[in-house]
Chains A and B, each alone.
Chain A
């Protein structure tokens, strides 16, 4: 017999899973990039800043060209440049990685909100056209399929990047050398690995992916730009890399926890199960769960040994 309550519950679960995939994407993209940076020994705390500037650049470019592809390309370009700047400051100049990250984040928050005021005054920025959805052919034809398997293509990109990153880091010579640079740069150097080059490459990969993560927020997640659009997602990505112990497969688990929490807090309100519990209370859920996840799994963490320490080239 058809039970309307069961149908409601089923649609609730399906839409929550679909939402979790969408909420997870910007975190996952940024966290994968951060995994490269941290595996090479650089703690890049500038992810929030890169996401903010890329979100703004992607948004402005898409408005100007009416093309989301151009918007994404510009966001990746800006991410590359910011990755290069961070690499120059922390690798070549060997500046403090923590201070550099905080400084970049502060500057990014300032410059993006400043530019929004300059361009749009006190009004709201316009909306961008929605990103096209991509359907996974076979899976979308199963009963729960259409909602879950029809998503913006970046969702699929972020999921594909998980096994790809795992393969690169653990099965290729590039990944082996990258991790060697993060564990013991001195020995890696003696074995003929160009430590600076590997760290530059890792930070640029981090910049590109954080750029994509940021652009996803303004071009798809809310389809416009608002002040501090990232809402700490860059920091959550760093938390998830630590939770995931520099292993992309565990990063996916962390991403699912965050994405699930964000999606659940949205769909519970939509369903009205907890009527009277204001939005704000549910909004704390993703942050609290991220911190809790960090706490529960932290004991198993094995840091890349040289993480956070600048490496000085031997001159002899």
Chain B
């Protein structure tokens, strides 16, 4: 048989659940739109044209791609080990705040030192916030889904407390932090609104891909994710691996928060909702834990994300449309993954 044809068959077999999930979620969300008196065809075509058809839309999509790609990559490391880090929201928030504090208070340093330190601070912030649930899981076996999720609420309230208290910028009427020093700002690619953070996202994707497929650590993470029992028999240090996974996962997501601060927001205000941490979760499952596929899905999702965001402001489409879509997509994905085994091969 033609090798191209067999490759195509293999691809369809592997990707069928993800394709069914995406198409099904589009149909399901269209029904919701119809029921609530909105024309689904105009919504979906507007999403595409708003997010990819104008210079503003393209710039915005590529800017939003950066945190999404980094978040899916960060989450993927933990999901691959069957450790369910649902705390990306909190980790990104804390990472952004750490970066903000360092980028402001060490503002006297030259950029060449300040930028790496600021980004490192973000990595450390996300790491710290992921380390709590990591340690609780590794040492006491406490369910990490619960702890990471509850720590999101702690992070939100803690940050609001700090922004309204000791970190408040006294010069502004509304609560927000002091902006980072000009030397800490990540520059834009000349002639666009796209910042150089996008190269970080690409680099992290490639590094983590190599980590997962070529290194011993990646192999151990995979083994642990596929069968904890087998990993124990093989003598893997499960507790140590668990902590390493949470450090990498939270650190990368914290770094994404730092990039948002240094390139886009310049400071942190209580209205910022780093929803990337939650909205990226279904994308990781759909990628079937492949780093490159996950990054591509994150890029595609950014189009949808930006399209809905613009439509909220122009025609009042509730942005919660995104969560409806994601929830449907993930439900259909998990159903079609298991129904395959009921079908004849």
Chain A residues within 8 Å of B, Cβ to Cβ? 45, 89, 93-96, 98-100, 102-111, 113-115, 117-118, 121, 227, 231-232, 235-236, 238-239, 242, 278, 280-281, 283-284, 287-288, 290-291, 294-295, 298-299, 301
Stretch of B241-249, B256-264, B334-342 contacting A (4+ beta carbons < 8 Å):
B334-342
Chosen A-B contacts, 15 in total, with CB atoms closer than 8 Å, are: A45-B145, A94-B338, A95-B334, A98-B145, A102-B282, A106-B323, A107-B323, A107-B324, A109-B327, A111-B327, A114-B321, A235-B149, A239-B143, A278-B160, A291-B151
B282 & A291 in contact (Cβ 8 Å cutoff): no
Main secondary structure of the interface of A (DSSP, over half): helix
Closest 9 CB pairs of A and B: A107-B327, A110-B323, A103-B330, A117-B318, A110-B324, A280-B161, A106-B327, A113-B320, A114-B320
A291 & B150 in contact (Cβ 8 Å cutoff): yes
A114 & B324 in contact (Cβ 8 Å cutoff): yes
**What residue in chain A is nearest B161 (Cβ atoms)?**
A280
| Among A96, A121, A227: residue with most chain B CB under 10 A | A96
Interface residues of B in 162-195 (CB under 8 A from A): 164-165
B14 at the interface (CB under 8 A from A): no
| Cα–Cα distance between A235 and B154 once the two chains are bound (Å) | 13
B116 at the interface (CB under 8 A from A): no
Main secondary structure of the interface of B (DSSP, over half): helix
Known: A235-B149, A294-B147, A298-B141. A114 touches B157 (CB 8 A): no
CB neighbours (8 Å) of A118 from chain B are: 36, 318
B142 & A298 in contact (Cβ 8 Å cutoff): yes
CB neighbours (8 Å) of A110 from chain B are: 320-327
A235 & B327 in contact (Cβ 8 Å cutoff): no
B140 & A102 in contact (Cβ 8 Å cutoff): no
B328 at the interface (CB under 8 A from A): yes
| Cα–Cα distance between A118 and B318 once the two chains are bound (Å) | 8
Write the nearest CB–CB distance from A304 to chain B, whole angstroms: 14
B22 at the interface (CB under 8 A from A): no
Known: A114-B318, A278-B164. A104 touches B142 (CB 8 A): no
Write the nearest CB–CB distance from A186 to chain B, whole angstroms: 18
B285 at the interface (CB under 8 A from A): yes
CB neighbours (8 Å) of B298 from chain A are: none
Q: Which of B146, B161, B316, B338 has a CB less than 8 Å from the CB of A294?
A: B146
Known: A93-B338, A93-B339, A278-B165. A111 touches B324 (CB 8 A): yes
Write the nearest CB–CB distance from A100 to chain B, whole angstroms: 6
| Cα–Cα distance between A296 and B66 once the two chains are bound (Å) | 39
B331 at the interface (CB under 8 A from A): yes
B84 & A106 in contact (Cβ 8 Å cutoff): no
B202 at the interface (CB under 8 A from A): no
B158 at the interface (CB under 8 A from A): yes
**What residue in chain B is nearest A122 (Cβ atoms)?**
B316
Q: Which of A45, A108, A232 has a CB less than 8 Å from the CB of B150?
A: A232
| Cα–Cα distance between A99 and B136 once the two chains are bound (Å) | 22
Write the nearest CB–CB distance from B285 to chain A, whole angstroms: 6
CB neighbours (8 Å) of A301 from chain B are: 141
A100 & B334 in contact (Cβ 8 Å cutoff): yes
| Cα–Cα distance between A259 and B334 once the two chains are bound (Å) | 35
B153 at the interface (CB under 8 A from A): yes
Known: A114-B321, A118-B36, A284-B157. A89 touches B142 (CB 8 A): no
B97 at the interface (CB under 8 A from A): no
**What residue in chain B is nearest A99 (Cβ atoms)?**
B334
Q: Which of B32, B86, B151 has a CB less than 8 Å from the CB of A102?
A: B86
| Among B32, B136, B142: residue with most chain A CB under 10 A | B142
A107 & B331 in contact (Cβ 8 Å cutoff): yes
B146 & A106 in contact (Cβ 8 Å cutoff): no
A287 & B321 in contact (Cβ 8 Å cutoff): no
CB neighbours (8 Å) of B334 from chain A are: 89, 95-96, 99-100, 103
| Cα–Cα distance between A231 and B154 once the two chains are bound (Å) | 11
| Cα–Cα distance between A281 and B159 once the two chains are bound (Å) | 9
A99 & B140 in contact (Cβ 8 Å cutoff): no
| Cα–Cα distance between A240 and B75 once the two chains are bound (Å) | 26
B161 & A278 in contact (Cβ 8 Å cutoff): yes
Known: A103-B282, A110-B327, A278-B165. A287 touches B151 (CB 8 A): yes
A109 & B323 in contact (Cβ 8 Å cutoff): yes
**What residue in chain A is nearest B150 (Cβ atoms)?**
A287
B331 & A89 in contact (Cβ 8 Å cutoff): yes
CB neighbours (8 Å) of A94 from chain B are: 338
| Cα–Cα distance between A288 and B147 once the two chains are bound (Å) | 9
CB neighbours (8 Å) of A114 from chain B are: 32, 36, 318, 320-321, 323-324
Known: A93-B339, A104-B327, A298-B140. A232 touches B153 (CB 8 A): yes
**What residue in chain B is nearest A100 (Cβ atoms)?**
B334
| Cα–Cα distance between A235 and B147 once the two chains are bound (Å) | 9
Contact bitstring B74-88, A, C-beta under 8 A = 1, else 0: 000000000010100
| Among A102, A111, A238, A294: residue with most chain B CB under 10 A | A102
| Cα–Cα distance between A301 and B331 once the two chains are bound (Å) | 30
Write the nearest CB–CB distance from B230 to chain A, whole angstroms: 16
A106 & B335 in contact (Cβ 8 Å cutoff): no
**What residue in chain B is nearest A97 (Cβ atoms)?**
B334
CB neighbours (8 Å) of A111 from chain B are: 32, 320, 323-324, 327
B281 & A89 in contact (Cβ 8 Å cutoff): no
B278 at the interface (CB under 8 A from A): yes
Write the nearest CB–CB distance from B210 to chain A, whole angstroms: 27
CB neighbours (8 Å) of B333 from chain A are: 99, 103
CB neighbours (8 Å) of A105 from chain B are: 327
CB neighbours (8 Å) of B143 from chain A are: 238-239, 242, 294
B157 & A281 in contact (Cβ 8 Å cutoff): yes
Write the nearest CB–CB distance from A56 to chain B, whole angstroms: 12
Known: A114-B32, A114-B321, A295-B136. A102 touches B147 (CB 8 A): no
